[in-house]
């Protein structure tokens, strides 16, 4: 089954304790992205990756790191979590959207990771 | 920059009622427009999309038409069901270098039997 998986689904941690949220897709997608969802703000992009070893900042990258060593995996790293990073996190992937003007390939979303930082 | 404004929720309807969720956007160039749906406890799923002016996206009885003159992409369904209860997000992709989706804040729809 084609899917994007995230682990863990739920996590409660304390300020300053490093954590990693994993994301994996089995669709051979080049493009992967992380979003955070907060009440009243919708989803905002944290980081994205066009392919292996190619990553870049989205709109809200502060306090996060990512890596893309393999095509299927795109972990999100919080080296020193703070309470303002309490949120619902979504990973997404798609084929590389390079088909020309206004081309778009559907982004598939994972089930989400609910993170609470105390 | 790009932005999406959708009607505030929550929206509560009875089964078989008509649904409209308004969505307007601001973007450079010619964005592609989307509606995503998030069922309780799940991730987002693409509901429908439209990639150019006057296109109509449709799926599962939902429709939305890309109106460039009014910069709108309103979601409609003629007869909602209890199973349509979810959060609906309007989004756009203006094809920038990061292929980012810009989302509205979401509208919670509850359909009562």
Chain A residues inside the 8 Å CB shell of B101:
35, 43, 45, 92, 107
- Residue A61 has φ and ψ, to the nearest 5°, of -85, -10
**What pLDDT band is residue A67 in, cutting at 50, 70 and 90?**
very high
**What pLDDT band is residue B41 in, cutting at 50, 70 and 90?**
confident
C-alpha distances (whole Å) from A82 to each of A17, A62, A77, A89 are 9, 11, 13, 15
A36, β-bridge pairs: A44, A89
- What Rg, from alpha-carbon coordinates, does chain A have? 14
Question: Using one digit for the tens of pLDDT, what is the confidence trace for B48-98?
Answer: 999 889 999 999 999 999 999 999 999 999 999 999 999 999 999 877 666
Q: What's the token pair of residue A6?
A: 């995230």
Question: Using one digit for the tens of pLDDT, what is the confidence trace for A31-66?
Answer: 999 999 998 888 999 999 988 999 999 999 999 999
Stretch 12-41 of chain B: residues touching chain A, C-beta under 8 Å: 30, 32, 36, 41
Q: Which of A2, A4, A40, A43 to mutate to test the interface with B (most CBs of B within 10 A)?
A: A43
Beta-sheet pairing, B107-112 with B11-14: parallel
Chain B residues inside the 8 Å CB shell of A45:
98, 100-101
Q: How far apart are CA B47 and CA B58, in angstroms?
A: 8
Whether A54 contacts A68, CB under 8 Å = yes
Q: What's the token pair of residue B19?
A: 């649904």
- Residue A101 is predicted with a pLDDT of 47
Average pLDDT over residues A18-26: 97
């Amino acid at each position: 089954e084609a899917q994007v998986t995230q682990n863990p689904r739920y996590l409660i941690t304390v300020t300053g304790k490093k954590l990693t949220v994993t994301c994996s897709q089995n669709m051979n997608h080049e493009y992967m992205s992380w979003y955070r969802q907060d009440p009243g703000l919708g989803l905002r992009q944290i980081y994205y990756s066009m392919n292996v070893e190619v990553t870049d900042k989205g709109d809200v990258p502060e306090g996060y790191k990512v890596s893309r060593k393999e095509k299927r995996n795109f972990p999100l790293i919080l080296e020193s979590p703070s309470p303002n990073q309490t949120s619902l996190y979504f990973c997404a992937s798609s084929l590389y959207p390079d088909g020309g003007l206004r081309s778009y390939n559907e982004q598939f979303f994972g089930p989400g990771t609910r993170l609470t930082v105390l | 920059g790009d932005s999406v404004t959708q009607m505030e929720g929550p929206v509560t309807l009875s089964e078989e009622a008509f649904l409209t969720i308004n969505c307007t956007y601001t973007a450079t160039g010619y964005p592609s427009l989307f509606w995503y749906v998030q069922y309780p406890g799940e991730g987002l799923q693409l509901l429908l999309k439209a990639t150019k002016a006057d296109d109509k996206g449709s799926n599962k009885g939902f429709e939305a038409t890309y109106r460039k003159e009014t910069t709108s992409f309103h979601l409609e369904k003629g007869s909602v069901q209890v199973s349509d209860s979810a959060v609906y997000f309007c989004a756009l992709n203006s094809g920038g270098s990061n292929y980012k989706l810009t989302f509205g804040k979401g509208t919670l729809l509850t359909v009562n039997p």
